[in-house]
């Protein structure tokens, strides 16, 4: 049975004091209100990971994610953070290939494949992101484009390692553009991607892979989106910065 997952990507937001308050509120709400079979993950800025990990650790269905990591194991890479460092402070998940990393930092699928490898080597779970832009969506071949991100980023993995990966589909065209992807559009892409996974790893493994939706998901549309047969939760952006709204999204299954 696939895991139900709601992950909150805080991006570059919140002071330390604000982050402490938000994390504390989320932890208490999740503990009291969210079903234990729903995994809730928060991804604060790297500066706060050590402190906030101590908040989430006592809650069995909570984890903490880094928003990125280096594709290098160690060495003279000023400003970078290695996977082994993240593992050493109790990080459970790492977001790999978020659309903003691809767009603003020119991360290639080859680099992302290296990051996936090093995250797995350190016993953490990669949340591998994929998705198309508005220009691509309005053209032809957007299904194939998103599939190619998976092919080039994670299809080198063995079946055993692939089973440890979570996928997040981000329709970039529906984030901050005023456009909204319908639940039917989300389901259509998720079903296509699951079929693509099955073509490489077989239907059984594809059916066990959690695919999250990451396109302007909020407490008003989460229940409808999460009810789709191939949507297993959400990678939440702005709504994850509000404890009540984020918790309500986690309760939407």
- List helix spans (H) across 122-169: 134-138, 142-154, 159-162
**At 181, is the pLDDT very low, low, confident or very high (cuts 50, 70, 90)?**
confident
The neighbouring-strand residues paired with 126 are 94
- Which pLDDT belongs to residue 157? 98
Instruction: Tell me the pLDDT band of 67, cut-offs 50, 70 and 90.
Output: very high
> Of 104, 96, 103, which Cα lies nearest the Cα of 71?
96
Q: Which tokens go with 112?
A: 């992302």
pLDDT bracket for residue 203 (50, 70, 90)? very high
Q: In the CATH scheme, what architecture does the domain 4-250 have?
A: Alpha-Beta Barrel (3.20)
pLDDT of residue 177: 73
The yes-or-no answer on residue 170 being catalytic is yes
Cα(124)–Cα(202) distance, integer angstroms: 24
Share of the chain above pLDDT 70, in %: 100
Q: pLDDT value at position 22?
A: 98
pLDDT at position 185 is 92
Does position 58 have pLDDT exceeding 80, yes or no?
Answer: yes
**Burial per residue of 155-190, b for 16 or more beta-carbon CB atoms within 10 angstroms, e otherwise:** bebeeeebeebbbbbbbbbbbeeeeebebebbbebb
User: Which is nearest to 137 in space by CA: 93, 199, 103, 179?
Assistant: 179
Mean pLDDT, residues 127-147 taken together = 92
Please tell me the predicted confidence (pLDDT) of residue 37. 97
- As a whole number, mean pLDDT of residues 187-209 equals 97
The per-residue b/e assignment along 132-152, b for 16 or more CB within 10 angstroms, e otherwise, is: bbeeebeeeebeebbbebbee
Of 98, 107, 190, 196, the catalytic one is: 98
- The pLDDT of residue 180 is 73
Is 196 known to be catalytic? no
Distance of CA 188 to the CA centre of its chain: 19
Share of the chain above pLDDT 90, in %: 91
Q: What is the pTM of this model?
A: 0.96
Residues 40, 27: Cα–Cα separation, whole Å = 9
Out of 100, 132, 170, 219, the active site residue is: 170
pLDDT per residue as tens digits for the range 152-170 = 999 999 999 999 999 999 9
Looking at every residue in the chain, the average pLDDT score rounds to 96
Rounded CA-CA distance 69/115 in Å is: 7
Residue among 50, 77, 52, 48 at smallest CA distance from 62 = 52
Mean pLDDT score, 9-13? 98
Residue 233: pLDDT band (50, 70, 90) is: very high
């Amino acid at each position: 049975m696939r895991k139900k997952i709601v992950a909150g990507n805080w991006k570059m937001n919140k002071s330390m004091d604000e982050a402490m308050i938000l994390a504390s509120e989320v932890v208490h709400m999740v503990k009291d209100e969210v079903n234990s079979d729903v995994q809730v993950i928060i991804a604060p800025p790297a500066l706060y990971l050590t402190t906030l990990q101590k908040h989430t650790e006592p809650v069995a269905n909570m984890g903490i994610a880094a928003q990125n990591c280096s594709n290098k194991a160690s060495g003279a890479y000023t400003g970078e953070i290695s996977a082994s460092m993240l593992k050493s402070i109790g990080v459970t998940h790492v977001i790999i290939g978020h659309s903003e990393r691809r767009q603003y930092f020119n991360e290639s699928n080859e680099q992302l494949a290296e990051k996936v490898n090093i995250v797995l080597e350190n016993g953490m779970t990669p949340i591998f992101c994929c998705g198309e832009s508005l220009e691509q969506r309005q053209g032809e071949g957007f299904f194939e484009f998103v599939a190619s991100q998976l092919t080039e980023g994670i299809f080198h993995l063995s079946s055993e390692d692939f089973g440890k990966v979570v996928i997040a589909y981000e329709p970039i065209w529906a984030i901050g553009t005023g456009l909204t992807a319908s639940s039917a559009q989300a389901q259509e892409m998720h079903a296509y991607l699951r079929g693509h996974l099955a073509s490489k790893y077989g239907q059984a493994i594809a059916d066990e892979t959690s695919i999250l939706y990451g396109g302007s998901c909020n407490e008003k549309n989460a229940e409808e989106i999460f009810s789709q047969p191939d949507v297993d939760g959400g990678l939440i952006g702005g709504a994850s910065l509000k404890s009540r709204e984020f918790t309500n999204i986690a309760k939407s299954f």
